[in-house]
Structure 1
Amino acid sequence: MTNQGKAALVIVDLQNDFCPPDGALAVPGGRDIAPAINKLLDLPFALKIATRDFHPRDHVSFASQHAEKQPFTSSHTITNPENPQETQET
């Protein structure tokens, strides 16, 4: 046996919920990644893994679980602790 590694394909959280037109959390272009993933699935990876992040309706991650917050209308700014100039609006 050699110490050489083998490549794995990990597909993280690709769900219909993120895909227009009917996804509950659809994002523009959400389906555009699917053809590339399908091509990757045809390759001979030693291991292929797909994950799915699931939350029940009352999960804390949803805006509806926070006072005075409305789904799809609230936002939050995340600041990189190592570079305060770098922010991302979510």
Structure 2
Amino acid sequence: MTKPKSIIPEFMIQNPDDVFMFLMPLNLKLDYENYANSHFSVAVKNLTKSEFFTTELSPELFLQDFVFIRLIKKGNNLGNISDHTMILNY
């Protein structure tokens, strides 16, 4: 039996102690032959290292599990920005 794939993105697994924030979707890349393979290109900020990058997520993960403008660490939602005393420098 195969092991199920983790829904936590690879960059979160590689940096387990960092806090991330999904900023906004940049575009939706549709796969017209199989809509299940469509994905969003998403802007992400690593708040711990103050770095910006883009990643690709399926629409289900982006809209349900990793909601934008939320703080996320180790794949878990930490809450709204206003719930923390962290100052964000853009």
Shared fold per TM-score greater than 0.5: no
TM-score by length of 2: 0.26
More helix by proportion, 1 or 2? 2
Structure ranking higher on relative contact order (CA contacts 8 Å, 6+ apart):
2
Q: Whose radius of gyration is greater, 1 or 2?
A: 1
TM-score by length of 1: 0.26
